[in-house]
Amino acid sequence: MLLLLVATLGLHAQDRNTIGVNFMYGAKIMGAQGAYQGVGVNYNISTYNSDAEWVSLLKVQNITIDATLYDMSHITGGAAITAFDPKFRDQGYFGTHIALSGAMDIALLNSDGIKILFAPGLGVLYSTQDYNSTNGVNQVLGRHLNIIGSAKLKLDIPVSYNTHMQIGAGVAHCSNSNTSFPNVGLNKLESFIGITQALSSATGSHTPKFSLGRNTISVEMIGGYTGQITTGFYQLKGVNLRLDNSFRKASAPIGKAGLAVAYTHYLNDVVGVKVGTDVVYSSKTSPLGSATSDTTKFIETFQGDYTAVNSKVNVGLNAGLDLRLGRFIFSGNYGYYLGNYERYIYKPGADRFEYGREFYATFAAKYFISRHIAFEAKSYLNNFGGVGLNLGF
């Protein structure tokens, strides 16, 4: 095997699409213990003949579509959570996970056909077990369908002209994008080994260019919901909210919407800086007062990250970055609500709520079907997630 590798170091079919299979092993999940295994298949589209500026600027080698099956049945709660409740020692409440994601292979090093690749990815994950199906034992996944983001480092070694071996490691975060609670999410670190096989050559065609203006104004219209489940961690004691495992009550989804206007200036063909405003609407408020009925109503309409929504309409100012990859744009913003939020304040010996102003963050992914219209998925972190349209000018 070693002689074969030495004899084929200069061989690499970078102009070909490939199909591969990976075997995963993970022994680290934040807040949990135990090991898990997985197997995945991937289809890799070569960008060798792409004329897109972002491909050459980022040194993108492939666009990857990956499907993975994870056996999570042997994962149990970590030491802290099992000390709180022994039932978290039971195996099986994470079930089986099925993930479908897209990623790109970015070349960090390419020497004689051996490559070190960085592969960021984003997709969806289905879990056979969630908070409801495990009677509240699964405290990290509030629903079956989740969003998964990942980042991998791959060592790509040619074995022959058509066949490569890949080994590496990656990190991933999985959560429900604020459409239900609990929204703690699953954070994991895993290793993998796999093999890829070249298919058809990509030398016969070129990817057409798609470009947008250097300066743009965008209008985003997003609709979604927050499907709430109180987990028993916030319960009335006097006028304060305390840990009380006896209180669990599901509530109907809370409809929400977001309207955002932003100005973006692109520094180059990939990175843009932006400023804008968000108007967030909630069909329910989460009032918190001194009366028992007020506090109980807050628990039943709890809407995120220890924060009460005091008004149905909230306005925020924000700034952030765009990452433009052809027809895809990924955006991250950080902002500041101008009022009408309450914030949870903890001091030793007392839990209390007081009125204040709240910072917030958003993440969005857009796909342009024309120069002026894009489909968009957006998450107002610790508030809600939704889908809609982006109009660009």
List of domains in the chain: 2-201 (2.40.160.20), 215-392 (2.40.160.20)
User: Rounded to whole angstroms, how far apart are CA atoms 41 and 23?
Assistant: 9
Of 205, 204, 383, nearest to 306 by C-alpha is 383
User: Rounded to whole angstroms, how far apart are CA atoms 150 and 188?
Assistant: 9
Regions of the chain where pLDDT drops below 50: 1-12, 202-204, 231-248, 292, 306, 346-348, 350-351
Residues 6+ apart with CB under 8 A from 251: 228, 229, 230, 300, 301
Predicted pLDDT at 288: 60
What is the DSSP annotation of 321-351?
EEEEETTEEEEEEEEEE-S-EEEEEEETTEE
Is 62 in contact with 106 (CB distance < 8 Å)? no
Residues 6+ apart with CB under 8 A from 342: 288, 307, 308, 310, 353, 354, 355, 356
Output the six-digit token pair for 375. Answer: 């489909």
User: Rounded to whole angstroms, how far apart are CA atoms 279 and 104?
Assistant: 33
Please work out, in degrees rounded to the nearest 5, the angle formed at the alpha carbon of residue 327 by the alpha carbons of 324 and 328.
55
Predicted structure pTM score: 0.77
Predicted pLDDT at 376: 96
Predicted pLDDT at 246: 42
Residues 6+ apart with CB under 8 A from 376: 220, 222, 364, 365, 366, 367, 387, 388, 389, 390
Tell me the pLDDT tens digit for each residue of 266-298: 998 899 999 999 999 988 877 665 554 555 666
Predicted pLDDT at 195: 94
Predicted pLDDT at 294: 56
